[in-house]
Structure 1
Amino acid sequence: MSAFFDFAVIGGGLVGAALARGMAREGLSVCVLDEGDVAYRASRGNFALVWLQSKGINMPAYANWTRRSVELWPAYAAGLLNETGIDVSLQQDGGFHLALSDIEMERLIAVAEGVNGQPGVKPYPYSVLDGDEVRRRLPGAGPAIVGGTYSPLDGHVNALRLYRAMHKALIAAGVDYRPGSRVARISHAGGFSLSIDGGGEVRAKRIVLTAGLDNARLAPMVGLSAPVRPQRGNIIVTEKAAPFLKMPVQTVRQTDEGSVMIGDSQEEAGLSEDINSGIMGVMADRAIRMFPAIADLNIVRMWACLRVLSPDGFPIYDQSKTHPGAFLATCHSGVTLAAVHAAVLAPHIARGTLPEEAQAFHAGRLHVPKAA
């Protein structure tokens, strides 16, 4: 027996959870069809940064879209707490990019100037710091740091509590969440029929594809394009330690519970989620050079996961011309963009359109022939 909904969201990761809750709050009946933990779920590997600094080089719309989400995050975190009783521990007191060489420092400055110098960008506040100023602001910073950039808008959250809160919030909003429901086929005739692997069907007036890497398979079924690829990232987590890192660095952060997370590697490894011990060693070495106290901590977990990247690295938000009512949303910054997805993108999709700010992210930009 099939069910019928106003919207079916295909994919229950960070993007799908934020959109489903947002649409349900618009008074719509919403079902989330989630493949579950067997999927290549990018959400399990998020570094939990709420981050603006350096975002949007060569795409001013992304710099502004990210800034809007970062500014919406305090209200988003407060809403999750009110609806679920879960504090995601948003700490938004600023964040750092750190350099271990003069060449790295030059790159950091070039990126900050490049993002903020683009026409149409609302410049974000940032400071260029020498090594001594970094060590003054971050007392645990080591002598190998030559400098860095700092923005007061950056921050981080508790990764595990965030994902739990987002799912608890969508249930509280009345969303019908169905794990273990991989969509095998989508047909369109007076609405959408979604055939589930292993049997079963869900019907909906409209749909949103938020299935990460699986969007590449699903999108053509409804006249859309999602040319996404996997990029592997490795993460190291240490035992809990006394607080020593009060603000996050892009590649190192101490959680509110005391553990240290080290990440940000980027590998083109296909669909492999195997850890790379060589890269893990480089990551650990850099973290120790930045913060020598890390050398005394035991590693308790290491894992790898797959980011979801478009050819230019920016999100894809689109709606189908051939299958009216079908939408696509995919990005690799599900934490940072969660607030704008829930508060801006979801209400617009609920009304059958995309917000003006998201128009630049259509997939057509990726198919424009390059000049000879």
Structure 2
Amino acid sequence: MTVSEKVFDTIVVGGGLVGSAIAWGLAREGEKVALLDEGDIALRASRGNFGLVWVQSKGKNMPEYARWSRRSADLWSGFAEELKEATGVSPDYHKPGGLHLLLSEEEREEAKALNKRMSNYYGELSPDTVLMDRKQVEEILPGIGPEVVGASWSPHDGHASPLNLLRALHMANAARGTHYVAEANARKITRDGSGNAVETDKGTFRAAKVILAAGHGNKPLGAQVGLNLPLIPEKGQILVTERTKPFIPMPLHVMRQTEEGTVLLGDSHEDTGYSTESVTSVFTDIARYAVRCLPKLAKLRIVRTWGAVRVLTPDGSPIYDQSETHPGVFSVNCHSGVTLAGAHALALAPQLAAGKLDPEFDAFSSRRFDNGTVHIAAH
């Protein structure tokens, strides 16, 4: 393809879960799409993802995010089926509900108050979370630790394989004719007549619309088009056990059993910049907490570990914005690349194809941070 031929309806910058889901959704709408991927030098949060499709507790400080998460979970079954039909690769999506184990009476009271608040304010698209006592939890998850007093459970929670999801999305994009370009690190975005131009290591690409979905790379790119994106790196580490017979029937907030039989353990939140270095002390804390929840885990060997960097905003909720200085340039920023994949592909992409975000997305604009009063949310 010559430089003069690199003209598309939409350019998506970022080949991870967020960018790939949006690119596929755009191609599904009939758009001619270029998907520009930085390559393996990127932080690749998509490949370090835990794999939860999680609704309960999402948006506890933003009703719009709660409804958006629930909407995505509702879309996920059809989304997964369509990807499997198109590619033969299943994202391994299951929706048995999800448990957040409670290890003290204080945690139970906090969960009770949160559930009440979300039910009161979030309407029909609430997580429908219910509190279970210890006996009810034991019926679902035998062998829980003595400290477990109960759990919160949402029927809308589930889990998927991030790696299979990413593979399926890339294959589905290829089937739809999306032009994928590897090692095409976006350097500069400029106005180009009535459209926009993206300068990369692989040449210049032109389109009426540009979608920034490059994770932490969005921050410097956004600054070029008048978007102030206060993105924050947060490291999370994961432990993987050896394969064993199925014994965890649904995902928990800190663990899930995969199709292959391994158990993923996680939930660290570390302020270490952009480092992905593995830290033994953090692994120890993760393992100890997991064993408190489910003692039988102590008998399994850890076979693999890794760290990855989340893409967070100051309040933990997504940012969806359109540039005022560069019409047609949008920015998509979130740490819920798996949970929101269904909504990004099937609900957001049609709006991006039309060139305008619905008013419901005004709440997600980065303008909410302009007064400087929003604090970093706990996760």
Shift of 1:369: 5.1
**SS in structure 2 at match of 1:266:** coil
**SS in structure 2 at match of 1:185:** strand
**Hey, what does 1:83 align to over in structure 2?**
86
Alignment of 1:100-249 (within 5 A): 100-118=103-121, 122-190=125-193, 191-197=195-201, 200-249=203-252
Question: Residue 34 in 1 paired to residue 37 in 2?
Answer: yes
**SS in structure 2 at match of 1:332:** coil
**Hey, what does 1:294 align to over in structure 2?**
297
* Number of residue pairs matched by the alignment: 370
Alignment of 1:254-293 (within 5 A): 254-293=257-296
Shift of 1:150: 0.8
**Hey, what does 1:73 align to over in structure 2?**
76
**SS in structure 2 at match of 1:77:** helix
Q: What is the alpha-carbon distance in structure 2 between the residues aligned to residue 103 and residue 330 of structure 1?
A: 33
Shift of 1:166: 1.3
1:24 to 22, 27, 46: 27
Q: What is the alpha-carbon distance in structure 2 between the residues aligned to residue 201 and residue 369 of structure 1?
A: 36
**SS in structure 2 at match of 1:37:** coil
**Hey, what does 1:352 align to over in structure 2?**
355
Identity of aligned residues (%): 46
**Hey, what does 1:13 align to over in structure 2?**
16
CA contact (8 A) 2:319 2:333 kept: yes
**SS in structure 1 at match of 2:74:** helix
2:46 to 37, 43, 47: 43
Shift of 1:119: 5.7
Distance 1:233 1:369, change over 3 A: closer
Q: What is the alpha-carbon distance in structure 1 between the residues aligned to residue 329 and residue 162 of structure 2?
A: 30
**Hey, what does 1:342 align to over in structure 2?**
345
Measured against aligned partners, the alpha-carbon deviations of 1:344-370 in whole angstroms (never above 9, x if no partner) come to 100110000113332210111111354
CA contact (8 A) 1:58 1:115 kept: no
CA contact (8 A) 1:345 1:355 kept: no
Shift of 1:61: 0.4
CA contact (8 A) 1:60 1:120 kept: no
- Code of the residue aligned with 2:139 in structure 1: it is R
Q: What is the alpha-carbon distance in structure 1 between the residues aligned to residue 80 and residue 146 of structure 2?
A: 36
Shift of 1:99: 1.4
**Hey, what does 2:377 align to over in structure 1?**
none
Unaligned runs of 5+ in 2: 375-379
Q: What is the alpha-carbon distance in structure 2 between the residues aligned to residue 196 and residue 171 of structure 1?
A: 21
Shift of 1:242: 0.5
- Code of the residue aligned with 1:194 in structure 2: it is V
What is the root-mean-square deviation of aligned Cα atoms in Å? 1.5
TM-score, L = length of structure 1: 0.96
2:312 to 293, 300, 309: 309
**SS in structure 2 at match of 1:350:** helix
Distance 1:344 1:291, change over 3 A: same
- Code of the residue aligned with 1:78 in structure 2: it is E
Measured against aligned partners, the alpha-carbon deviations of 1:196-239 in whole angstroms (never above 9, x if no partner) come to 13x52112221000000010100011122211010000000111
Unaligned runs of 5+ in 1: none
Q: What is the alpha-carbon distance in structure 2 between the residues aligned to residue 245 and residue 366 of structure 1?
A: 40
**SS in structure 2 at match of 1:321:** coil
**Hey, what does 1:250 align to over in structure 2?**
253
Distance 1:51 1:263, change over 3 A: same
CA contact (8 A) 1:61 1:121 kept: no
**SS in structure 2 at match of 1:117:** helix
Q: What is the alpha-carbon distance in structure 2 between the residues aligned to residue 218 and residue 128 of structure 1?
A: 44
- Code of the residue aligned with 2:199 in structure 1: it is S
- Code of the residue aligned with 1:180 in structure 2: it is E
